[in-house]
């Protein structure tokens, strides 16, 4: 059985959980911005209402005197021109007296007050206005009233109704109302593009994995099959030669033993691939023996391992470790192949060590080579499926190893250090 993670061991955040956090965080930011904009809109609406009431009170005290005093009329004109939102002032009959910031919805220009003569104002009937500016302004006043209740103002001397102030929203407020919807649209476009991009990346990654798995299968099978073919060729040559060059019993036993080892290797490969995507069982066993067995087979089968490449091992004393023997040996082989490839050009040393990790809560396997090494950029991508620094590599060895170590065994595999031209150290930590 897979052993449960011990209390206090840090939980690793998976890519799925990370995406959920990013999505929730983005949603919260959008909501926060939306409510903040709504708060600003509310404040602007309240300020518009207050300013309109102040203007109505100003109208109550100035409109009647303004008809008789040019100075007061000038002040009134300046005040209404500075109001930052559209406003219409009507008299007690409902006829527009003055206005500001009212566009002509037909021609797209502002309707000027001086287009209406005093006689037109006096004779106008709000229930049946004549065609022209008064009709247009009255229509806009009714439109404003449907959204905001007009403010009545009274003669401060007699208390009689003088008229109403009709007002609309400032341009900035109208713009702010659109902002949340624009933001939602942009976020929607961003999410769609992000999803399409992520799906493209995942599809590319899946293609790389399938291609890599096919090549990895061929590569895994290639070594024992080539070895078997070599032994069969030797048997045929010796059998055909006869006489003194014929096979002795000792040689037959040796060839049979080697062929049996290669057939057993084929069974291991079949077992490994059959366990991809499943939950293999773990069994407490001697980790040093499992590592040594994998290395012994590789020493004999990799023809590039010769006098130019030395393999050193140092096995520390370890307790039984719960592992899946076939899968952990697959990891050892992947790391061994990487080290061989890194040393192929100039030779060097591969050193494999086991022991307790420095924290004392697990065991470690360390692979060290003095080959080509990796740049910081290469180290960041090393565990991505499909990424490889080799010309003919398919970038599946380290991703598979990471999955086996971390998801199957609850351990951790990291590039401890690597420097271009000076080699690489890869560490594996497993729960003891």
SS3 of residue 87 by DSSP = strand
- Which one, of 127, 173, 182, 118, lies nearest residue 148 by Cα? 173
How many residues are present in the chain?
432
Please identify, among 149, 169, 189, the residue that sits at the C-terminal boundary of a domain: 169
Q: What interhelical angle do 171-241 and 287-301 show, nearest 10?
A: 70
Residue 130's Cα: distance from chain center in Å? 63
Q: What is the pLDDT of residues 379-409, one digit of tens each?
A: 888 888 767 766 655 567 888 888 889 888 8
Contacts of 90 (CB under 8 A, 6+ apart): 96, 97, 126, 141, 150, 163, 164, 166
- Quick one: average pLDDT of 237-252? 62
Work out the mean pLDDT of the chain and round it to a whole number: 76
SS3 of residue 56 by DSSP = helix
pLDDT at position 3, please?
Answer: 41
Domain assignment of residue 210, yes or no? no
SS3 of residue 387 by DSSP = coil
How many whole angstroms separate alpha carbon 126 and alpha carbon 113? Answer: 17
User: Tell me, what DSSP letter sits at residue 132?
Assistant: T
Please identify, among 169, 195, 227, the residue that sits at the C-terminal boundary of a domain: 169
CATH number for 355: 3.30.565.10
Domain assignment of residue 275, yes or no? no
Decide: 160 and 150 in contact? Cβ < 8 Å. Answer: no
Please identify, among 141, 169, 197, the residue that sits at the C-terminal boundary of a domain: 169
Domain assignment of residue 53, yes or no? yes
Range of the domain at 78: 20-169
Domain assignment of residue 277, yes or no? no
Domain assignment of residue 235, yes or no? no
344-374 in b/e form (b: 16+ CB < 10 A) is: eeeebebbbbbebbeeeebbbbbbbbbbbbb
Q: Per the structure, how many domains does the chain have? A: 2
How many whole angstroms separate alpha carbon 271 and alpha carbon 280? Answer: 10
Domain assignment of residue 152, yes or no? yes
Domain assignment of residue 200, yes or no? no
pTM: 0.48
Q: What is the pLDDT of residues 14-72, one digit of tens each?
A: 556 766 777 777 778 877 877 887 888 788 777 777 777 776 666 666 555 554 445 54
Domain assignment of residue 335, yes or no? yes
Q: What is the pLDDT of residues 113-133, one digit of tens each?
A: 766 776 777 777 777 877 777
**At which residue do the structure tokens 């049979």 appear?**
256
- Pairing status of strand 309-315 against strand 161-167: unpaired
CATH number for 92: 3.30.450
How many whole angstroms separate alpha carbon 88 and alpha carbon 86? Answer: 7
């Amino acid at each position: 059985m897979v052993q449960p993670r011990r209390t206090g061991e840090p939980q690793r955040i998976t890519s799925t959980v990370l995406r959920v956090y990013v999505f929730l965080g983005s949603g919260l930011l959008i909501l926060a911005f939306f409510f903040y904009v709504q708060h600003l809109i509310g404040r602007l609406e309240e300020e518009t209402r207050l300013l309109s009431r102040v203007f109505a009170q100003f109208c109550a005290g100035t409109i009647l005197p303004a008809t008789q005093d040019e100075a007061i009329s000038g002040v009134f004109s300046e005040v209404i021109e500075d109001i930052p939102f559209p406003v219409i002032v009507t008299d007690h009959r409902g006829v527009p007296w003055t206005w500001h910031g009212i566009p002509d919805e037909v021609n797209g220009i502002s309707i000027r007050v001086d287009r209406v003569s005093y006689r037109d104002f006096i004779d106008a009937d709000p229930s049946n206005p004549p065609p022209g500016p008064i009709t247009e302004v009255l229509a806009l006043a009714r439109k404003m009233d449907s959204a905001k209740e007009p403010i009545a103002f009274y003669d401060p001397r007699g208390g009689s109704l003088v008229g109403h102030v009709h007002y609309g929203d400032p341009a900035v407020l109208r713009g702010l109302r659109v902002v949340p919807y624009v933001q939602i649209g942009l976020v929607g476009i961003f999410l769609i593009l992000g999803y399409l991009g992520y799906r493209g990346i995942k599809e590319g990654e899946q293609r790389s994995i399938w291609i890599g798995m096919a090549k990895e299968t061929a590569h895994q099978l290639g070594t024992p099959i080539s070895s078997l073919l070599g032994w069969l060729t030797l048997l045929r040559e010796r059998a055909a030669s006869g006489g003194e060059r014929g096979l002795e019993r000792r040689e037959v036993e040796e060839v049979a033993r080697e062929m049996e080892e290669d057939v057993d290797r084929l069974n291991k490969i079949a077992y490994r691939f059959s366990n991809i995507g499943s939950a293999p069982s773990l069994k407490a066993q001697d980790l040093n023996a499992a590592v040594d067995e994998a290395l012994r087979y590789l020493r004999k089968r990799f023809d590039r391992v010769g006098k130019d490449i030395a393999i050193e091992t140092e096995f520390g004393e370890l307790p039984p470790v719960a592992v899946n023997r076939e899968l952990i040996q697959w990891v050892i082989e992947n790391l061994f192949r990487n080290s061989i490839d890194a040393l192929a050009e100039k030779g060097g040393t591969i050193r494999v060590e086991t022991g307790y990790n420095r924290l004392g809560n697990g065991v470690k396997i360390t692979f060290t080579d003095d080959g080509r090494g990796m740049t910081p950029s290469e180290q960041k991508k090393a565990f991505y499926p499909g990424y490889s620094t080799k010309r003919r590599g398919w970038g599946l060895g380290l991703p598979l190893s990471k999955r086996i170590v971390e998801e199957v065994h609850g351990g951790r595999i990291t590039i401890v250090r690597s420097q271009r031209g000076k080699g690489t150290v890869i560490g594996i930590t497993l729960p003891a």
